[in-house]
Amino acid sequence: MAGLGPHWGFIVAAYLVTAVVVLGLIVWIRADLAAQRRTLKDLEARGLRRRSDAAKAAAPAEAAMPAEAE
């Protein structure tokens, strides 16, 4: 570690702490994603639907109506 100079311990520790924090965030985000998907699946099983589904169903009807000429 002589190439890092007299502060090599601090440099290595900083990289290790950063790696642990980034990996922890990745694990946390993946766990939260799984929880959100389980919640969404449960809500859909109970009959609740997303608002975007209604918007997609209404979009073709709105596109078929002629626009008013100004």
**In angstroms, rounded to a whole number, what is the distance separating the alpha carbons of residues 34 and 40?**
10
Summarised one tens digit per residue, pLDDT across range 30-49 is 999 999 999 999 999 998 88
pTM score of the predicted model:
0.61
* pLDDT of residue 70 exceeding 70: no
**In angstroms, rounded to a whole number, what is the distance separating the alpha carbons of residues 4 and 12?**
9
What does the pLDDT read at residue 37? 96
